Structure 1
């Protein structure tokens, strides 16, 4: 039986207690639509880096496919489908099924449409928020996904209530998110840089996924679903060149959310200095250890 890698160490657990703030960023759906996903760059960078620099031989897509338990005939709804990267990989497992992709951002929704254009699996594309599913009939889907997007949804109560309404008996709601200390090493160099710059205190916040994370998700989802199973998955990205990491940090994660929204207190000179501080630390780690590691603590809630 294959054993999944475990990257947790006492040292990383202790570091997380020192580094990860209790408060997390909160961003509106409008910000997500108009800034993060007004094009596909953020998603493209994350997807490329996660694939090229991972060390877990089981990819996140493989993890999802195993959890979804597809037979090939399911009707699947993807909430926040983004650019269709995940759906492209799932589609061969739904050869006799259907795909419905929903996203609030027209740019990435169009990218998904183009990505799956011409496939034999029927695809429907809907521009809407994940808490507005009134256009969908009840008992319509065997599988519903929400991957790394639930923290943007304005009304979680309405979202989960609607998911239950449109999900068929025996179906699975597949929600993927992170632990609050996922990618700890990236946040460590980021906060170290901010401290060296005496940066504004409001920047010292954790990922917005803290709204519903692997740490608190069981209790939240248990209010809506009879059975909630948590399946964890770990990976570690390893970089021997600082530049791919810097793209991941600046474009993929908006300087750990510091540049996610316009702020008159933070100009380009501020971010140039921040990048210099971060790059210096990453280069030092590569010279000392041979690579800079970013450990991912992530996983999926399977709700029935």
Structure 2
């Protein structure tokens, strides 16, 4: 809960729930922009997908569930590693994302199924159906993490394991600080600003993931992935910020309440700050922290 300093009363945050998910993931634009930027401008030699694959520890003969597969960016690499005896099932709430995943996963040597569904209800699958279950970056949008973690645990075969990938709540603080400073400068109302999340959102984050997952699994091992995104010119960062993150969610929540001209001013203000930072030190950098929790 945020607090509006002007009135010292609790302010209800905007709802980034089911309706937002269906709109945000109704096309590939935002998600692909984030994925492209993370890979092109990363400072870690290994990709996040490499790290996830290491944590999955596949022989190729596993039955794998990709819960919240999105556009298939990670599934593409997983499916290409499966062979005779293996299979993969991809579940997502967005038909548009499932369609993209089907187009993006071009190589699979094992059966591959795409299913529209919610992480909260996997009752179509019996207990112990999968050797591996992966849930990557879905807990930003999950209202009941205990329910979903319970479903994941129920589906893992004895001897198998699940992986849950989460971005730290305070990942990319440089983006959020610059964004909110610029919003105040441009003149967005304090009440509107107070309702926006100032960090990565989600009820299960790095701070409490071990505790929540341990209620469902006997063993939970955290494997951190620390990275930074370094930009030597402003343009790619501005695409990441304005298109990939839609002005940290402000564009989506503004609806028609604020004119495009205010977002044009916001863009210009942030761009000027980024250019000033690059002129000073040679680059603008976002610090990032993710972890994969290996659960069995």
Mapping of 1:46-195 within 5 angstroms? Answer: 46-96=34-84, 97-117=86-106, 119-195=108-184
Say which of 203, 226, 231 aligns to 2:193. 203
Decide whether the 8 Å contact of 1:233 with 1:297 is kept in 2. yes
Say which of 245, 265, 273 aligns to 2:265. 273
**Alpha-carbon deviation of 1:188?**
1.8
TM-score, with structure 1 as normaliser: 0.87
Q: 1:156 to 1:119 in 2, by over 3 A?
A: same
Decide whether the 8 Å contact of 2:25 with 2:94 is kept in 1. yes
Partner of 1:261: 253
Task: Identify which range, 277-286 or 178-187, moves more after superposition.
Answer: 178-187
**Alpha-carbon deviation of 1:89?**
1.6
For 1:227 and 1:209, how far apart are their aligned partners in 2?
Answer: 26
Unaligned runs of 5+ in 2: 1-11
Say which of 281, 287, 302 aligns to 2:294. 302
Q: CA RMSD in A?
A: 1.9
For 1:148 and 1:301, how far apart are their aligned partners in 2?
Answer: 12
For 2:67 and 2:14, how far apart are their aligned partners in 1?
Answer: 21
Q: 1:271 to 1:51 in 2, by over 3 A?
A: same
For 2:114 and 2:199, how far apart are their aligned partners in 1?
Answer: 29
Count of residues in correspondence between the two structures: 282
For 1:198 and 1:211, how far apart are their aligned partners in 2?
Answer: 30
**Alpha-carbon deviation of 1:156?**
2.6
Deviations 1:176-222 (A, max 9, x none): 11112111111121121022124233434223434211122112222
For 1:200 and 1:230, how far apart are their aligned partners in 2?
Answer: 40
For 1:37 and 1:63, how far apart are their aligned partners in 2?
Answer: 24
Say which of 217, 225, 239 aligns to 1:225. 217
User: Secondary structure, in 3 states, of the residue corresponding to 1:93?
Assistant: coil
Runs (4+) off by over 6 Å: none
Say which of 204, 218, 228 aligns to 1:236. 228
**Alpha-carbon deviation of 1:120?**
2.1
Partner of 1:19: none
User: Secondary structure, in 3 states, of the residue corresponding to 1:150?
Assistant: coil
User: Secondary structure, in 3 states, of the residue corresponding to 2:109?
Assistant: coil
TM-score, with structure 2 as normaliser: 0.89
For 1:156 and 1:215, how far apart are their aligned partners in 2?
Answer: 14
Partner of 1:44: 32
**Alpha-carbon deviation of 1:24?**
7.1
Partner of 1:20: none
